[in-house]
Amino acid sequence: MAGRVMKKPEKIRVLIVDDSAFMRKVINDILSEDPLIEVIGRARNGAEAIEAVRTRSPDVVTLDIEMPGKSGIDVLKEIMEIRPVPVVMVSSLTREGANITMQALDIGAVDFVTKPSGTISLDMDRVGDELRKKVLAASRASMHVRGAAPAVPPAYESAVPHRESVKRKFDLMVVAASTGGPMALQQVIPRLSASFPMPVLIVQHMPPGFTTSFAACLNERSKLTVTEGCDGMPVRKGSVIVAPGGYHMIVEKNGPSLVTKLTETPPVRSVRPSADVLFGSVAEVVGGSVLTLILTGMGKDGLDGTRLLRSKGAYVVAESRETSVIFGMPGAVISAGLADEVLPLYEISSALERTAK
């Protein structure tokens, strides 16, 4: 009998957009190191980028934020209008770059990578592995309009019975998110009422500097007060605290109250901040009176911490596959049988309010 011929996996077709010929070449070389990635084009401006998206149908676009003429934001908006495709923004590590990156994630970019040393980064290879991983992850992203309920809600994995513990009082809510998280969080946190009865702690995977802009952006849209965490920050009702990029955030007792503490212990599952680190400290200090939310994201951060919290009686809500950009993090929690409810994004805030009260 003739042996079965194994079909080679299809390559991920990537379009690179950057006004610098040097950066286009560097990004091309970085991506080409992965045998699963094929660079199908390199565009030097917005007009070339739009034309290539129309005619070459890339699976993923890497898009420079800072370009003359039509900016990266303008190009992103047009791509999302003519042919939504996963976009990984390539951003400068500056305050302005962080603010613009938040706009890009809000518009529909899947993720971003920072140039280590400005617009022309001779050391771009420092983030080469990250760029390849994020392009591969973006190729699996679900592109759809976030936050709005469809006319006929899709079937989703919510056939998980409510546990009796939902009827008791919760002292704290913790949230984990990664790829697609900024947009998801902007569909959840601003929809919580000013009377939401417990403080909220968030781990969103981002590098230093970007969590500052993200917290400020979230605060502008929310009835609750959203801030970036720091050492000794009180954890109080009405507050939402975002773990700062580059640090793990944990909670500690300060007399009868809770405060945050930042540490620079090594990354866990390759990330810092880590949801597992935060959740572990919350399980130890607060116990099971915790409402836990797992949103879209690549990887399994939050799985171990959720398991620990759930063993103490915490209530767990996970985002469903239908609205997750990347189903990794919520999928891991659901597969482990740890989710009490599995909901699409547009139902999560009302479910949190209902469960909390």
- Tell me if residue 74 is catalytic: no
Of these residues, 91, 121, 178, 324, which one is catalytic?
178
Active site residue 205: yes
For residue 277, the number of C-alpha atoms closer than 13 Å in the C-beta half-sphere is 23
Distance CA 7, CA 138 (A): 23
The C-alpha atoms of residue 134 and residue 81 are separated, in whole angstroms, by 23
**SS3 of residue 13 by DSSP:** strand
Of the CA atoms within 13 Å of residue 176, those in its CB half-sphere come to: 34
CB atoms within 10 A of CB 187: 17
Q: Which of 18, 34, 59, 301 is catalytic?
A: 301
- Are the beta carbons of 235 and 273 closer than 8 angstroms? no
CB 43 within 8 A of CB 15: yes
3-state secondary structure of 242: strand
- Of 139, 205, 276, 320, catalytic: 205
Catalytic (active site) residue 18: no
- Name the amino acid, one letter, at 232: G
Enumerate the β-bridge partners of residue 43.
17
Question: Bridge partners of 92?
Answer: 115
Q: Distance between CA 5 and CA 95 in Å, rounded?
A: 52
Instruction: Show which residues are catalytic.
Output: 178, 205, 301
